[in-house]
Structure 1
Amino acid sequence: MAKDRTPDKSRATGGGATRSGGRAGGRTRPPTQVVAQQRPWGLIAAAIAVVVFAAAVIYYAVAQVQEADALRVDSIDEIAGAETYEYEAGEHTYDPIDYEQSPPVGGVHDYVWADCTGTVYDVDIRHENAVHSLEHGAVWITYDPDEVSGADVETLAGLVDGVSGRMLSPYEGQDSPISVQSWGEQLKVDSADDERIKQFADLMTYKAGEFPEPGATCERPDFLADPALESDDAGAPTAP
């Protein structure tokens, strides 16, 4: 005979459910927390700033190159007002020279050259020494101290200071405010802002084939330390 089946009370209770109280002693699910994703605005702003800065740097560099290309010349004939002269090289003397051009651009000169390693002189250096520097390929910028001073001298110095093959000095009594010379070439201008000064200097500084002694040094530390002056006794010898 089959036995009577007694209901399983543990199943009947439904794991603790009661009729009167719903889910007594049951577990409730904690509310879900929704976290809004934060946008990294700081990083985005920094990235944009970097991009803008890089673009500005590139634009500036391109503009500088374009400006340099616009000013570039390949021949002295392209510089308006530049004059050209012919001089024999290699003639030295201790005696003073009465030069045809003022400032001079070539000819007989002193045995000692003026230091032309981007040298800015504040004195009228002896012209015979300066001409020897031109023979070595230097560009010599001169100015009338009665006409050019202050910021204009600083502008000229900016084209010379630290640039090997260039030198700057006052020149008493020259017939133009500013003059630029290399061996056999000369340009006279009225303003330190004249773009032809830079054109001349960039073209003629150490321009091979345009001066007599390619490869000769511009260094002359003894002259730099104690430059000979045009106002000195022009007949006094300087040691070679």
Structure 2
Amino acid sequence: MGKDQEARKDRRASGSSRSGGRPGGRGRPQASVVTAQRPWGLIAAAIAVVVFAAAVISYAVVQVDKAEAMRVDSVEEIDGIEVFDYAAGQEHVSSEVDYDQTPPVAGPHDGVWADCTGTVYEVDIRHENAVHSLEHGAVWITYDPEVVSEDDIALLAEVADESGRMLSPYVGLDSPISVQSWNHQLKVDSAADPRIKQYADFMTFNAELFPEPGATCQSPQFLADPLVEDGAALDPDSGTSAP
């Protein structure tokens, strides 16, 4: 009888030991697990940056492709261009010259050149001074002020905004727009015509196509007080030829 009681005590003691000494034999509570949150905001921002960068690169590639498509390696590749054959070393004159082309592309000219450092004139500059600029390698963009709109003039000004180029109205022009350099001319109907920039990019300071490579386009005195073609004064209010 005494042995049975001792055996029961031993079993209770053993059970208490296995349960960690806690009443009722319960085990340790399970530790709670915290799941890490994904940084969705940062992921979305990174994706947006990648998409934007891809769009910028794609746009740049398209623009480069367009520029490359319009690039020419010879005069003959410019559709509609006219070529003339004036010799170098033309005479300097102070009198008016009766030019064969309108606008003129070469020939005798004034000893002072018109400033052609990306200059945008609001007057029909004296043609003899403009021709001297062509001799220096400039591209002269002209437009009929009674036909071409302000928006179109702004487009032309963007092309002219580079050293070696100038823009001016030309009263009585026989086409809406005419672009000329020494011995070359291109007439177009629209300021959006891509040949304007094509012509300007190829002709500006092209040393093989004008008589005086290295000559400057800077003419501060003319820039400050441009000479106006006789009989071609513009109405300052309307921008068209005065009666």
- Establish whether TM, by shorter chain, passes 0.5: yes
Give 1:14 deviation, angstroms. Answer: 5.9
| Map of 1:96 onto structure 2 | 96
The corresponding residue for 1:132 is 132
The residue identity in structure 1 corresponding to 2:151 is A
Alpha-carbon distance in 1 for matches of 2:26, 2:121: 95
**Paired AA for residue 95 in structure 2:** D
Structure 2 counterparts to residues 41-190 of structure 1, below 5 A: 41-90=40-89, 91-161=91-161, 163-190=162-189
- Point out where structure 1 has 5 or more consecutive residues left out of the alignment: 1-10, 234-240
- Indicate how the Cα distance of structure 1 residues 146 and 189 shifts in structure 2: closer, same or farther if over 3 A, else same: same
Task: Give me the whole-angstrom Cα distance separating, in 2, the residues matched to 1:140 and 1:79.
Answer: 16
* 1:90-137 per-position Cα deviation (integer Å, ceiling 9, x unaligned): 321111101010100001100111000001111000000000000000
Write the deviation string for residues 131-168 of structure 1: whole angstroms up to 9, x where unpaired. 0000000000000101112111111111012x000000
- Tell me how far 1:224 sits from its aligned partner: 0.7
Secondary structure in structure 2 of the residue aligned to 1:152: helix
Q: Equivalent pairs: percent with the same residue?
A: 68
Report the Cα offset of residue 30 of structure 1.
Answer: 5.0
Q: CA deviation at 1:29?
A: 4.1
Structure 1 position 231, deviation (Å): 2.7
* Number of the residue aligned with 2:240: none
Distance 1:61 1:14 in 2: 83
Tell me how far apart the structure 2 counterparts of residues 96 and 14 of structure 1 sit (CA, whole Å). 129
Give the AA of the match of 1:37. Answer: A
Q: Which amino acid aligns with 2:71?
A: R
1:55 and 1:23 mapped to 2: Cα distance? Answer: 65
Residues 119 and 12 of structure 1, relative CA distance in 2, 3 Å threshold: same
SS of alignment partner, residue 142 of structure 2: strand
Query: 1:188, 1:131 → 2: CA distance?
Result: 17
Aligned to 1:201: 200
Root mean square deviation, CA, Å: 2.5
Matched residues in 2 for 1:109 and 1:14: separation? 124
Shift of 1:174: 1.2
| Equivalent AA in structure 1 for residue 85 of structure 2 | E
Shift of 1:191: 0.9
1:168-218 Cα shifts (integer Å, max 9, x gaps): 000000111100000000011111111111111111001011000101111
Query: How many Å apart are 1:232 and its aligned residue?
Result: 7.2
* Matched letter for residue 185 of structure 2: Q
The Cα shift of 1:27 comes to 11
